[in-house]
Chains A and B, each alone.
Chain A
Amino acid sequence: MSQVVEIGLWQLLLALLFILIAQIASFVYNLGLNKDITVGTVRTFAQLFLMGYVLTFIFRIENLWLTLGIFAVMAVSASFIIRGRVKEKEVPYMLPTFMTMFVSYFITALFVTGLIVGVAPWWEPRYFIPIGGMVIGNSMSALAIALERLFREMRQQKGLIETRLCLGANYREASSEMFRNAVSAGMIPSINAMMGVGLVFIPGMMSGQILAGADPLQAIRYQIVIMLMLVGSTATTSIITILIVRKRCFGKGEELLLGEK
């Protein structure tokens, strides 16, 4: 296959023309986005260059603990991003969310790198970190959607949940459809992505591999593995996390702890 065409510094700076267009549009139409566009551009350069150097360093020294450390940092960051999106104060959900994410994503990434791709060692950073990152990034969104949906429905349907409890339901029976709705809401985006992939959009990973000179038929195989992996990981993390967090929404007497909103 052809070699990668390198992007030089001047070519990179030429891409700033796109930002210039956005800045002019914001200025002309008084959108008030000039500062955000500038900060966003600087952060894009800074964060990605930093990541590039970090990854180069990690790929070079190939250390198991460093690789796992990076993986843990990604999982911790993801759980804090989820906390920012969900904004629930009454039920402690952070610890079970983080634990489920870490264990589930680790097993998924391990399965893909060790068994499906079959790299040796299984933690080979060039494979383990990007695959782990994709699992965490996608499942994090799924989990945030599922948790937000669970808390919202439990509050909105408090009257119905309590009526069921009063008629002999246990907490699982009383909140069964809130559980189902939350897990489905989390899983639907990754299932929809499978429907549209290759027709509506070319996924980022596949595009990256093709641009890097890989055979498209090899790139699609990687992409298929990634798509399937994401459905599996969003399903397992959503189900396990929602099961644990739902239990925490109820007290010792199986009374609903969430207030109505």
Chain B
Amino acid sequence: MTGILEIEALGFSYNNAAKTVFRELDLVVGTGEFVLVKGASGSGKSTLLRLICRLEASESGRILFKSRKIEEYCPSELRRSIVYVSQIPAMIEGSVEENLVFPFSFAANNGLERPSEKQLSEMLETFYLSDVSLQHQARNLSVGQQQRLALMRALLLDPEILLLDEPTSALDAESTSMVFSIVEQLNIARKKTVVMVTHGSFVPQHVSPVLYLLENKKLRNV
């Protein structure tokens, strides 16, 4: 089967082979699929996502994006097509608006249209952030609000794949359900391919994710 993302016999270890994280790991993700990867803390879930977007370099095996090795893409072009949203979102010093639009100053995003204030305000509502204004200082927002802002920022680049790393790790039950609801909507309404890792409980409401378990340095379809 050919997918938008294919991982073949991936191997990776930290500290010069002192700690092996993956050995012969395989994964195929189809276009528009919602893939959920579960595993214990320290099993390498975040590392897997970081390898896909080249924040780490693999030791063996290969990762293909649209049938081409990820090393064949310009790193910034690859990363704007496969956007990774980390567990702890980093906000720059400045307003919510500045935090949402700063990626449009990067050369790789030149072809993208910068969203208007009206569009951004409407999006804030969609992301359950109607009480947040564009002029708010982003670093003063709660972690939950920053998580949603980070998702919004990633989505503004219209990526083909969203890599979500424990997007609800620091959230209360209410915020968790909001984030999951948003992610499901992205997958259903905007046909975004989603690869999400979590060690917590995610109960899908509207999607049927392909579930994998990361254990013994490999992925197992469950």
**A residues apposed to B, CB below 8 Å:** 159-160, 162-170, 173, 251-256
Q: Is B1 interfacial (CB-CB < 8 Å)? A: no
**Interface residues as binary, B37-69 with A (CB distance below 8 Å gives 1, 0 otherwise):** 000000000000000011111000000000000
Given A160-B92, A254-B76: A166 touches B107 (CB 8 Å cut-off) = no
Q: Is B83 interfacial (CB-CB < 8 Å)? A: yes
Find out whether the CB atom of A255 lies under 8 angstroms from the CB atom of B79: no
Find out whether the CB atom of A168 lies under 8 angstroms from the CB atom of B109: yes
Tell which of A162, A169, A254, A255 touches B86, judged by Cβ atoms closer than 8 Å: A162
Residues of B within 8 A of A169 (CB): 76, 103, 106, 108
Find out whether the CB atom of B153 lies under 8 angstroms from the CB atom of A167: yes
Find out whether the CB atom of B88 lies under 8 angstroms from the CB atom of A159: yes
A/B interface sample: 19 pairs, CB < 8 A: A162-B90, A163-B90, A164-B106, A165-B55, A166-B55, A166-B85, A167-B83, A167-B102, A167-B106, A167-B153, A168-B106, A173-B105, A251-B57, A252-B57, A253-B75, A254-B75, A255-B55, A255-B57, A255-B75
- Measured between C-beta atoms, what is the minimum distance from B115 to chain A in Å? 14
Tell which of A168, A252, A256 touches B108, judged by Cβ atoms closer than 8 Å: A168
Q: Is B89 interfacial (CB-CB < 8 Å)? A: yes
Residue among A162, A168, A169, A254 facing the most chain B CB atoms (10 A cut-off): A168
Given A165-B79, A254-B76: A170 touches B108 (CB 8 Å cut-off) = yes
Given A159-B88, A169-B106: A253 touches B57 (CB 8 Å cut-off) = yes
Chain B interface residue count, Cβ-Cβ cutoff 8 angstroms: 31
Q: How many Å lie between the Cα of A168 and that of B104 in the bound state?
A: 9
- Measured between C-beta atoms, what is the minimum distance from A253 to chain B in Å? 4
Residue among B54, B85, B89, B157 facing the most chain A CB atoms (10 A cut-off): B54
Q: How many Å lie between the Cα of A256 and that of B92 in the bound state?
A: 18
Residues of A within 8 A of B105 (CB): 173
Find out whether the CB atom of B106 lies under 8 angstroms from the CB atom of A254: no
Find out whether the CB atom of A166 lies under 8 angstroms from the CB atom of B86: yes
User: Looking across the interface, which residue of chain B has its beta carbon closest to that of A157?
Assistant: B90
User: Looking across the interface, which residue of chain B has its beta carbon closest to that of A160?
Assistant: B90
Interface residues of B in 105-135 (CB under 8 A from A): 105-109
Q: How many Å lie between the Cα of A173 and that of B76 in the bound state?
A: 10
Q: How many Å lie between the Cα of A160 and that of B92 in the bound state?
A: 7
Residues of A within 8 A of B107 (CB): 170, 173
Given A163-B89, A252-B57: A170 touches B75 (CB 8 Å cut-off) = yes
Contacts A159-B90, A166-B86 supplied; 6 other A-B pairs, CB < 8 Å: A162-B86, A165-B55, A166-B154, A167-B83, A252-B57, A253-B70
